[in-house]
Amino acid sequence: MTRRRLIVGVSGATGVFYAVRLLETLRALDVESHLVVTRPGEMTLAYETDMTTRDLRDLADVSYAIGDVGAAISSGSFRTMGMVVAPCSMRTVGEIASCATSNLLTRAADVCLKERRRLVLMVRETPLHTGHLRAMLTATEAGAVVFPPVPAFYARPASIADMVDHTVGRVLDLFDLDAGLVDRWTGEKPQPADALTTVVPIERSAP
């Protein structure tokens, strides 16, 4: 590779803005992004943002149709740093865990596992039943990293954007990419930022 490449998959779980921020950050880092979006992912994009599918695809260097199973990222000979599925639905986890790759997203994920490349699954579901947990365990045993986008409050985020940035930064850490998005723990108590970091007492009526 003359330029670093990272695959970004978007499935139908909630949290599509993680993918948006990830693509923006990869561009800033001069990492070539390869995007594949499922049809439920396109639906969630419309639910959660004012972006069109074309807007999302324009953030990537290369984008693929979900049914294009002959695309470059479907082959291990196409070298990449790995793949992030952001967000990752439980259906997608199940396909990856079972090796039943019915579309380009899960095929690309399977390629990363067989080539021993980093695969990060930003799983979005709660609560979890036994089948979910077993699927995540199987994916982990195959080499995937299960990374639920759980916000970190120790950095005292001032906005939702801060929480998204911190999570995206921690995901990129797994690929040795430092975008400067992470307010890293130093062992010292951070200073308050604004109202989001202040605990407001809840007034309760007398019984």
Question: What's residue 200's pLDDT?
Answer: 47
**Range(s) of the domain holding residue 20:** 5-197
Q: Is residue 202 part of a domain?
A: no
Question: What's residue 183's pLDDT?
Answer: 84
pLDDT-derived band at 206 (thresholds 50, 70, 90) equals: low
Task: Judge residue 180's burial from the number of C-beta atoms within 10 Å of its C-beta, 0-12 exposed, 13-18 middle, 19 or more buried.
Answer: exposed
Q: Is residue 112 part of a domain?
A: yes
106 vs 95: CA distance, rounded Å? 7
Residue predicted with more confidence, 1 or 10: 10
Q: Is residue 52 part of a domain?
A: yes
Residue predicted with more confidence, 72 or 189: 72
54 vs 86: CA distance, rounded Å? 17
**Helical residues (DSSP H) of 29-129, grouped into ranges:** 39-48, 53-58, 90-98, 104-114
> Which residues are registered as beta bridge partners of 146?
121
pTM: 0.90
Question: What's residue 187's pLDDT?
Answer: 84
Question: Which CATH number does the domain housing residue 138 bear?
Answer: 3.40.50.1950
Find the distance separating the first CA and the last CA of the chain, reported in whole Å.
68
Q: Is residue 44 part of a domain?
A: yes
pLDDT-derived band at 195 (thresholds 50, 70, 90) equals: very low
pLDDT in tens, 139-189: 999 999 999 999 988 888 999 999 999 999 999 999 999 999 998 888 887
Phi, psi of 82 (to 5 degrees): 140, -150
Q: Is residue 204 part of a domain?
A: no
Q: Is residue 42 part of a domain?
A: yes
Phi, psi of 29 (to 5 degrees): -85, 0
In 48-193, beta strands by DSSP E: 62-64, 82-88, 118-123, 145-146
Q: Is residue 133 part of a domain?
A: yes
Question: What's residue 61's pLDDT?
Answer: 98
Non-local (6+) Cβ contacts of 145 within 8 A are 118, 119, 120, 121, 174
Q: How many domains is the chain built from?
A: 1
Task: Judge residue 170's burial from the number of C-beta atoms within 10 Å of its C-beta, 0-12 exposed, 13-18 middle, 19 or more buried.
Answer: middle
pLDDT-derived band at 192 (thresholds 50, 70, 90) equals: low
